[in-house]
């Protein structure tokens, strides 16, 4: 039979909790919105609860039983608070504090009934753990990286172990001498507490790092002024669109959009007015595009719009719709209304083996300049020299 030294398990868990909490506080010093502070507080409460638990027999029962279990309940409350803060939700104070109060009341009532206390821990604590588990599941966080899965599985495993121990207690299969008494299930409970402290905390840090990494990737691919993809991301989207067109045989359309007289706006009214016009034009364009369409800033006042599975007629129709929408929009700066129009070059073709996506841009760009020369605020269709 497996035999572990319970006091040693408690000591190792206490040390691990304190060290991991310190690490979280260091990592989370500039990440207050990630919930790392709440998670670290939970670990410190966890360590303190185990200190009181280890003092069973030397400390008054009120401290080593009631206070220790209220602290343990507080641990799960902090974990819930950390998850909610990470997800950007309002703090669920009632869900955090009420179980702690209930734990105090029930453990006071059953202070002399050890089996009943084990059953209570198998009911209250798993219910508390269920709340952050549901929050992670419903938020979609499990789809965004490995960190959320480590947290989820760690908390789930701890919940299941507590439920198993409660069921075995109710069936009379657990030793009744006290929490420090040996037994396979009791040993596994403490061992699992140590493992879940490590895995869940590591997973939580990984969640924060994965979010930071995703934010960095978004910033690297995003135009800081307008919020649409920048030139690099736009070219990548065009390459992907061309590859998809080559694979499925459907036409790919490209619109080169240029804001008319933009230099005059900058020179006469200042760059702040120009920035507002660019952002306003993007808002108007995005409102007219379909869900599958893509818009990115190609450079200066030029934007590329990718239209998958769109023939030339559909591209021209949408381009004219965009021109009308921008012309009818109201752009204001410093109390005055600014007339704004766009010129659009449109091209559509089925990509063939050996074709280069640069030819699409060249054709749309040439068509856009024809629209400029023809009077602006209009659409011209380009011809793609394939190859």
10 Å Cβ neighbour count for 350?
Answer: 15
Reported as a pLDDT band with limits 50, 70 and 90, residue 94 is very high
pLDDT digits (tens, 9 = 90+) for 202-244: 999 899 888 888 878 877 889 999 999 999 999 999 999 999 9
Q: Residue 46 in contact with residue 197, Cβ under 8 Å?
A: yes
Q: Helix or strand or coil: residue 293?
A: coil
Question: What global pTM score does this model have?
Answer: 0.70
Q: Residue 103 in contact with residue 69, Cβ under 8 Å?
A: yes
Lowest-confidence segment of 129-133, 209-213, 269-273 by average pLDDT: 209-213
Mean pLDDT across 120-142: 94
**CA proximity to 193, closest of 8, 90, 74, 46:** 46
Reported as a pLDDT band with limits 50, 70 and 90, residue 11 is confident
- The arrangement of secondary structure in 6-220, i.e. its CATH architecture, is Up-down Bundle (1.20)
Q: Return the C-alpha torsion angle 42, 44, 47, 52, nearest 10.
A: -100
Instruction: For 314, list phi and psi in degrees, rounded to 5.
Output: -65, -35
Q: Helix or strand or coil: residue 227?
A: coil
Reported as a pLDDT band with limits 50, 70 and 90, residue 176 is low
Is residue 182 over pLDDT 60?
no
Higher-confidence position of 178 and 363: 363
The C-alpha atoms of residue 193 and residue 50 are separated, in whole angstroms, by 11
Reported as a pLDDT band with limits 50, 70 and 90, residue 4 is low
In angstroms, how far is CA 36 from the centroid of its own chain?
15
Is residue 15 over pLDDT 80?
yes
The C-alpha atoms of residue 103 and residue 119 are separated, in whole angstroms, by 12
Q: Where are the domains of the chain?
A: 6-220, 231-381
**CA proximity to 385, closest of 359, 367, 361:** 359
The C-alpha atoms of residue 164 and residue 155 are separated, in whole angstroms, by 14
Reported as a pLDDT band with limits 50, 70 and 90, residue 1 is very low
Eight-state DSSP code of residue 229: B
Query: Which residues, in sequence order, are CB contacts of 9 under 8 Å at separation 6+?
Result: 187, 190, 191, 194
Higher-confidence position of 128 and 25: 128
231-381 carries CATH number 3.30.70.270: yes
Is residue 57 over pLDDT 60?
yes
In angstroms, how far is CA 279 from the centroid of its own chain?
26
Mean pLDDT across 275-295: 95
Residue 213 in tokens = 């990494």
Q: Residue 363 in contact with residue 385, Cβ under 8 Å?
A: yes
Query: How does strand 336-338 pair with strand 342-349?
Result: unpaired
Q: Residue 105 in contact with residue 70, Cβ under 8 Å?
A: no
Give the angle 307-310-312 at the CA atoms, nearest 5°: 110
Is residue 180 over pLDDT 70?
no
Reported as a pLDDT band with limits 50, 70 and 90, residue 29 is low
Percent of the chain whose pLDDT exceeds 70? 94
Length of the chain: 387
Residue 243 in tokens = 């590859």
Is residue 386 over pLDDT 60?
no
DSSP 363-375: HHHHHHHHHHHTT
């Amino acid at each position: 039979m497996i035999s572990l030294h319970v006091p040693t398990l408690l000591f190792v868990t206490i040390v691990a909790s304190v060290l991991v909490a310190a690490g979280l506080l260091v990592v989370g010093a500039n990440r207050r919105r990630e919930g790392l502070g709440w998670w670290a507080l939970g670990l410190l409460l966890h360590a303190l609860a185990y200190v009181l638990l280890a003092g069973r027999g030397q400390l008054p029962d009120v401290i080593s039983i009631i206070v220790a279990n209220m602290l343990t309940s507080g641990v799960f409350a902090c974990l819930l608070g950390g998850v909610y803060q990470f997800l950007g939700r309002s703090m669920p104070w009632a869900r955090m504090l009420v179980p702690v109060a209930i734990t105090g009341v029930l453990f006071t009532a059953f202070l002399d009934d050890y089996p009943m206390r084990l059953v209570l821990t198998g009911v209250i604590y798993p219910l508390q753990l269920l709340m952050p588990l549901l929050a992670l599941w419903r938020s979609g966080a499990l789809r965004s990286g490995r960190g959320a899965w480590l947290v989820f599985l760690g908390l789930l495993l701890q919940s299941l172990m507590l439920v198993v121990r409660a069921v075995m207690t109710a069936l009379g299969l657990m030793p009744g001498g006290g929490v420090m008494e040996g037994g396979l299930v009791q040993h596994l409970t403490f061992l699992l507490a140590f493992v879940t402290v490590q895995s869940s905390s590591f997973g939580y840090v990984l969640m924060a790092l994965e979010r930071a990494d995703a934010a960095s990737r978004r910033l690297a691919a995003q135009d800081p002024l307008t919020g649409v993809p920048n030139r690099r991301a736009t070219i990548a989207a065009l390459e992907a669109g061309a590859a998809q067109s080559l694979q499925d045989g459907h036409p790919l359309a490209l619109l080169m959009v240029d804001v008319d007289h933009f230099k005059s706006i900058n020179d006469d009214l200042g760059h702040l007015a120009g920035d507002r016009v660019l952002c306003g034009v993007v808002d108007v364009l995005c409102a007219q595009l379909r869900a599958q369409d893509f818009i990115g800033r190609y450079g200066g006042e030029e934007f590329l719009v990718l239209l998958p599975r769109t023939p030339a007629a559909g591209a021209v129709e949408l381009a004219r719709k965009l021109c009308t929408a921008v012309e009818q929009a109201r752009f204001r700066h410093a109390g005055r209304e600014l007339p704004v129009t766009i010129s659009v070059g449109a091209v559509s073709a089925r990509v063939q083996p050996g074709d280069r996506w640069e030819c699409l841009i060249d054709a749309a760009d040439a068509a856009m300049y024809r629209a400029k020369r023809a009077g602006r605020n209009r659409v011209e269709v380009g011809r793609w020299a394939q190859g």
